[in-house]
Amino acid sequence: MYRLCLIWIGLMSVLSPASAAVRYVAASKLWILETGKTSYALGINELNAVQNVYWGKRLAREEDLSAAHTPRRFAFESDESLANEEYPGWGGMRYAEPCLKVSLDDGTRDVVLKYVSHQVSGEDLEIKLKDIRYDLFVVLHYRVFPHNDIIRKQVSIQNRTGKTVLVESAQSGVWYLPEGDGYRLSYLTGRWAGETQLNREPIQPGKKVLESRRGNTSHQANPWFAIDYQGAADEEHGRVWFGALGWSGNWKMVVEQASNRQVRVVAGYNDFDFGYSLKNGESLDTPPLYGGFTDQGFGESSRILHRFEREQILPDRAAPHVRPVLYNSWEATTFHVDEAGQKQLAEKAAKIGVELFVMDDGWFGQRNDDKAGLGDWSVNPKKFPNGLKSLIDSVNKLGMKFGLWVEPEMVNPNSDLYRAHPDWAIHFNDRPRTESRNQCILNMARDDVKEHIFSVLDKLVSENNIAFLKWDMNRHFTEPGWPEAAVPEQRKLWVKYANNVYEVIDRLRAKHPGMEIESCSGGGGRVDLGILQRVDQVWTSDNTEAFDRLSIQNGFSQAYAPKVMMAWVTDVPNMNGRSTSLQYRFLVSMMGSLGIGANLNHWTDADFTLASRMVGYYKRIRNTVQQGDLHRLFSPLQGELTANQYVSKDGKQAVLFAFLHSQQFRYPAPTIYLRGLDERALYRVESIDGKLEGKLKTVSGSYLMNRGLDFKLGGDFDGAMVILERVADR
Ligand code: GLA
């Protein structure tokens, strides 16, 4: 029966063009891009430009859409500026943020793009545009992900003018919201130890610029946005348009409400200090820009992104698997690592169920603090007289995989590498080389530097049984010079650097297929959909204090899947002086990909017992947390409670985490209504800590979602967890 169904679905998709993900309707000159629940339509207007026509909930009938049509002229505006062009160049009478700005070598700085041709193939659409005078082409690539309700835009700028063209701004595209005002923007900002803080504010006339000028994605802003209609959406309801950029270099997102009350989001390479010269025949590809729509609120917009990341972005997308429980030595030992100390920690970690043991900074060169050693990736013989082998063998014998910290893009001036190749560091001639954390950045845009880094890492991984690299990057760019390159090429550094980081990771993974990678940049400084295509997880923040983590994780989860969100249980008092119980710290970390970063040498027997128990629970629920649907029930940004619920893909298990920040006036914690369950199914209720009120054993989904659950939470920083197993359908 199942087979028959598949054949039928297959036949239908061949026979009925109306079910294709991309269709061209010749009569109205419209392309309709369709996902399961959304439609995106664009067409050729009277001016022969490609214009956006619709983005929102899936439309039942394409005939209802009229052809692209330039709006009525308005004094001081032009038809083209009002037309919601899919890829406006800076040229003619256009004043909103452009997608493309170029300078030709005869001094011309005007580009006006018109439709030339298109090609539809399966889930892909390519539209070719050309400047009205020059052979400067722009190919718009659209990819529809029908099952994920996501559309990807990517653009290729091709110079066939016979001359050199300087690209001054290259954006991946623009998303247009339905006309009108009253929209609200959600976005993520922060800083080191305070990443991914969620902001919400009304969109007003003018521009809001989110960006990084720091060379990588940055802690300060993250390339994700969500816009809701009338500022009325909540976690469960309301229209939300959202998007994210897949780029780990300088990026920019401009949210603009133009004078015609048109809200638009332009995103791509940051055009600040940008300059990418294209010789005749050369082209420049922009990063991928993703977008989606839901009418079911912020919760669903996040779940769409999470599913999309798991199924289309992450390296294990073809066969997703759960992340291992990890131990990392950083907070326990800092730079003071050695064979005996790491072995001791490894033995203790293995006892509580850790599956991946990661040795952090300090194992190489003269790395005794952060002043020396970066660049010299050979094992420090004093700390590891037997090389890494003896430690790795012990870790493996304990049943764990071994992982290692590296920071390949960096160099301390106090290192053999810097002494041999001072010109490899990013710099301007005769200018200071600002150090940050006592280090400079190797110019990965240079092919010789890239090859060096590849071969160092390749050797390290080939010679040792390394299953995992924590790839760190502990500073941002300054003095971004590349004096060895010809002047017109020097600013390519911004793009080539990030692309070469990608290339090294891709080549390493191809050569060492079993090896996994975590992206870290002094915490969460390099988290985006570009790096996530090539790493399995990211380090969320160097701030591992559990209460602070609630809001960092809340922001993170707006855009990124809990599966990639590394969360460690560490010691208290933590960096801000706060102390919380070990149980609370475990519960917070169990909402993502669990790690332990505490100094196990300081733990009591009771700590080990509790930790083993919690790791045991985590292994029971991790498939649900990592691969299931997240419902944010109470936000840490409002009120005294935070609550998150996860429902497994097959609906058989759900997990609820609840945290009370600080009880006042003896008020009981508010009732928590669950979501995403089957009203008629029965669930066995297991309160792992006895904090659930009442003696519930087996209850219906209807009870859980409508009557809800109450908890005995009190004092400061209390937490609870309930596991629900679906036992029967009523
Ligand atoms: C960064 C990382 C930490 C740790 C240190 C090591 O700060 O975010 O987790 O690896 O570097 O120097």
Ligand 1 centroid to 547 CA: how many Å? 20
Task: Specify the pLDDT at position 200.
Answer: 98
In this predicted structure, what is the pLDDT of residue 683?
98
Residues carrying an active site annotation: 472, 542
10 Å CB burial of residue 332 (0-12, 13-18, 19+) is buried
Q: pLDDT value at position 4?
A: 44
Q: What proportion of the chain, given as a percentage, has pLDDT over 70?
A: 97
Q: What is the whole-number distance in angstroms between the Cα of residue 408 and the centre of ligand 1?
A: 13
* Pocket lining: 409 vs ligand 1, CB cutoff 6 Å: no
Judge if the beta carbon of residue 718 lies within 6 A of ligand 1.
no
Instruction: Give the pLDDT confidence score for residue 17 in this predicted structure.
Output: 43
Is 337 near ligand 1, meaning CB less than 6 Å away? no
**From atom 12 of ligand 1, which residue's Cα is the shortest distance away?**
361
Cα–Cα distance list, 447 to 285, 454, 475, 543, 725 (Å): 19, 10, 21, 35, 54
CB of residue 361 inside a 6 A radius of ligand 1 = yes
Would you say the CB of residue 474 lies under 6 angstroms from ligand 1?
yes
Rounded to a whole number, what is the distance in angstroms from the first to the last CA of the chain?
A: 25
Q: Report the distance separating Cα 453 and Cα 455, nearest Å.
A: 5
Largest CA distance in the chain: 81
Cβ of 298 below 6 Å from ligand 1: no
Q: Is the CB of 472 inside a 6 Å radius of any atom of ligand 1?
A: yes
Structure tokens at 536: 């399995």
Write down the H helix ranges in 81-139: none
Nearest CA to ligand 1 atom 11: 522
CA 611/CA 349 separation, integer angstroms: 10
Q: Which pLDDT band, with edges at 50, 70 and 90, does 2 fall under?
A: very low
Structure tokens at 318: 């073809």
- Please report which confidence band the pLDDT of residue 19 belongs to, taking 50, 70 and 90 as the band edges: low
DSSP letter at 296 equals B
The residue whose CA has the least distance to atom 1 of ligand 1 is: 522
Distance 518 CA to ligand 1 centre (A): 12
pLDDT tens readout for residues 414-458 = 999 999 999 999 999 999 999 999 999 999 999 999 999 999 999
Does residue 9 have a pLDDT over 80?
A: no
Distances in Å between the Cα of 555 and the Cα atoms of 196, 218, 228, 645 are 5, 15, 16, 16
Determine contact, residues 22/142, Cβ cutoff 8 Å: yes
Q: What is the pLDDT of residues 527-585, one digit of tens each?
A: 999 999 999 999 999 999 999 999 999 999 999 999 999 999 999 999 999 999 999 99
Given the structure tokens 């011309």, which residue do they identify?
108
Phi-psi sector, 300: left (phi>0), alpha (psi -120 to 50), beta: alpha
- Who's near 461: CB < 8 A, 6+ residues apart? 469, 508, 512, 515
Alpha-carbon distance of 188 to 204, in angstroms, equals 18
Task: State which ligand 1 atom lies nearest to the alpha carbon of 470.
Answer: 10
Residue 472 Cα, ligand 1 centroid: separation in angstroms? Answer: 7
Q: How many CB atoms lie within 10 A of CB 49?
A: 25
Cα–Cα distance between 633 and 256 in angstroms, integer?
31
Number of Cβ within 10 Å of residue 447's Cβ equals: 11
* CA-nearest residue, atom 7 of ligand 1: 522
pLDDT in tens, 627-668: 999 999 999 999 999 999 999 999 999 999 999 999 999 999
Confidence of residue 8 (pLDDT cuts 50, 70, 90): very low
pLDDT confidence tier of residue 1, bands split at 50, 70 and 90: very low
pLDDT digits (tens, 9 = 90+) for 211-232: 999 999 999 999 999 999 988 9
Structure tokens at 365: 């060169």
How does residue 13 score in pLDDT terms, banded at 50, 70 and 90?
very low
Helix or strand (DSSP H, E) at 351: helix 339-351
Instruction: Say which range, 5-19, 157-171, 450-464, 472-486, has the weakest mean pLDDT.
Output: 5-19
Query: 394 to each of 350, 402, 441, how far by Cα in Å?
Result: 11, 10, 34
Q: What's the pLDDT score for residue 356? A: 99
Tell me the sheet residues that pair with 724.
654, 685
C-beta contacts of 502-510 below 8 A and 24+ residues apart: 502/248, 502/530, 502/531, 502/534, 503/450, 504/408, 504/444, 504/450, 504/453, 504/454, 504/457, 505/471, 505/534, 505/535, 506/534, 507/454, 508/454, 508/457, 508/458, 508/461, 509/315, 509/534
471 Cβ below 6 A of ligand 1: no
pLDDT of res. 10: 40
For the CA of 520, the nearest atom of ligand 1: 8
Residues 6+ apart with CB under 8 A from 380: 362, 363, 364, 365, 366, 367
CA–centroid distance, residue 632 to ligand 1 (Å):
29
Please tell me the predicted confidence (pLDDT) of residue 237: 98
Distance of alpha carbon 628 from alpha carbon 645, whole angstroms:
10
Q: Which atom of ligand 1 is nearest to the CA of 360?
A: 10
Q: Tell which residue, 317, 478, 461, has the closest CA to residue 377.
A: 461
Pocket test residue of 371, 474, 541 for ligand 1, highest count of atoms within 8 A of CB: 474
- Selection from 279, 287, 275, 286 nearest residue 101 by Cα: 275
Say yes or no: CB of residue 363 within 6 Å of ligand 1.
Answer: no
Q: Which residue has the tokens 């969460």?
A: 524
Instruction: Identify the weakest region by mean pLDDT among 467-471, 587-591, 662-666.
Output: 662-666
User: pLDDT class for 12, splitting at 50, 70, 90?
Assistant: very low
**Ligand 1 center–CA 405 separation, angstroms:** 9
- Which DSSP letter does residue 177 get? P
Q: Decide whether any atom of ligand 1 lies within 6 Å of the 330 Cβ.
A: yes
Which candidate, 213, 206, 170, places its Cα nearest to that of 185?
206
**Whether residue 324 has a cis bond before it, omega within 30° of 0:** no
Over residues 333-346, mean pLDDT: 98
Rounded to two decimals, the pTM is 0.97
Which of 473, 520, 527 should be mutated for ligand 1, with most atoms under 8 A from CB? 520
Of the candidates 77, 25, 65, 69, the one whose C-alpha atom is nearest the C-alpha of residue 50 is: 69
